[in-house]
Chain A
Amino acid sequence: MRIGSALAGTAASMAALAALATLVGGWGLPWSGDDAKPAAKTYEPPPNSAIPEGKFGDEVRLGQNIFREPGTYAAHYVGNDLRCSNCHLAAGRLAGSAPMGPAYTAYPAYRAKNGHVNSFEERLQGCFRYSMNGKVPPLGDPVLVALESYSYFLAKGLPVDEKAPGRGFPELPKPPLPADFARGGQVYAQHCASCHGPDGQGQSSGGKIAFPPLWGPRSFNWGAGMGSVKNAAEFIHANMPLGLAGSLSDQEAWDVATYMDSQVRPQDPRFTGDVQETRMKFHNTPTSMYGRTVNGAVLGDPAVTPPAGTVPPAASAPTPSGEAK
């Protein structure tokens, strides 16, 4: 979910992003209810009607289907109830919601997360391993080729640049008060629970998940980018609640992100067998709650933490590529 390793980079790049955000009037605005401010034009991906006919267009359409319904179109790699489009809103088209076009133009890139230069396909593998709590599709797998084709299509017209407009999530200032779990719980009850459920387990429409589970066994695992309080706060402030983006204060966004990222969720697939060792190796940052004690429980404690990579056996055979909708 976290596309922007550049965001975690130098202070200079943060300043540049902040300046850009100011310049374009803020990324959160297009979805806010405030009609007085025009929608910021940062990233304008092509519409579906621009998808070409032919084999390449078929890949793009398949990629979009996977992106919207990975549990159907990439079932053998998906271990939870999330969709790519739950965090990459508008099916990966929305600026400020980690859109796929500006992500595509940013790779290959060095990622501190795994210590080497990643191809775009390898970056996509990370989404399946962590955010989808699933299995990693091998390089060249039809699922990755389709997602790459869709992302390339969405990148049309953008410069090849790791700072393409709209990329990642907009930078959010540090909160006035230290982020607080209890206050976050109040924000959650008031602004989030009606859709995501009082227990964070999401809600369905006719048996299909409509509002994604935010924690618990069917949500992203501890290795996912959204498990970073910083990423979550940025995403939430820029995009949530749906249709009313920008309505939460900076403080509320940080508090509720802390609340969400202090809950039980599937284990980090890099788990070494020891929670504190795993924290030191992979979560040694103030923005990860992994290994911390919240309400008397250690987050990541294997005794109460659901397993990583829970793709059901029934889904292990590749699904037919399916007709693009």
Chain B
Amino acid sequence: MALVVAAWAMPSGAAWADEATVAAGAAIAAHGTVVGRAACSSCHGQDGAGQPDVGIPRLAGLSTYYIHEQLGYFASGARRNYVMSSYAAALTPAERREVADYYASLPVPRNPDPLPVAAAALDHGRTLFLNGAPDKGLLSCSQCHGTDGLGVGSFSPRLAGQSAAYIVDQLQRWHGGADRDPKGQYMRAIAGRLDTPDMRAVADYAASLPRDGGKP
């Protein structure tokens, strides 16, 4: 727990990246570190846009602390994912930091063209995102991710413009009690109070939010 506290206590927003680590991270993202294995960019793109429709998350726009922390959890097995675990474990701690610095340094790509979502569902998602559902004991997403879904420092990731399919997948994993990371205890408690239509609605709403907090 002490380690976790130390990691959480890192100053948010302060840059720890420099040009050298970003350049090294760009090389890892483009070419990987093991000959014959796919690199980060094969799935997440060199621009960090991900593949929203199939649930591969956008990395550009996430904080370097968050990406670095999650890579560590994938590597240790604290966060289980059959694809990411082996990739993260193949990177040294320094390489994980470099690749995190790289993706965090990128401009946030435009939101993908949204799949059609019924207005009523989007409205439901907006209500859950901003107000929660006090009758279900459900906190609002905005309480921890910000009213514009931009995330909070090292604590919570940006959701604005993130892949809806990815958000639904994560919510379903938490709902099922999946291991993620020590902070996953919060999301397990939240997701346990969401049914599948709620998850879809809230994910669609988050995906529809402007990537930079501005007007859509």
Interface residues of A (CB under 8 A from B): 29-33, 35, 39, 44-45, 48, 89-91, 93-94, 189-190, 193-195, 197-198, 203-208, 210-211, 241-244
Contacts and interface: CB of A to CB of B under 8 A. Distances in A.
13 contacts: A31-B137, A33-B185, A48-B127, A189-B9, A193-B5, A203-B12, A205-B147, A206-B148, A206-B150, A206-B213, A208-B148, A242-B186, A243-B139
Nearest to A45: B134
Interface of B: 1, 5, 8-9, 12-13, 127, 131-132, 134-137, 139-140, 142-148, 150-156, 183, 185-186, 188-190, 192, 212-213
B137 to A, nearest CB: 4
A195 B152 contact: yes
Given A31-B139, A93-B134, A210 B146 contact: yes
B150 A193 contact: no
B114 to A, nearest CB: 21
Nearest to A44: B135
A208 B143 CA distance: 12
Contacts of B212: 206
B183 A194 contact: yes
Contacts of A195: 144, 152, 155
Contacts of A91: 131
Given A189-B9, A208-B146, A208-B148, 11 more contacts: A29-B137, A31-B137, A93-B134, A195-B144, A204-B152, A205-B151, A210-B144, A210-B147, A241-B186, A242-B186, A243-B139
A42 B89 CA distance: 49
A244 B183 contact: no
Contacts of A244: 185-186, 189
Contacts of B134: 30, 45, 90, 93-94
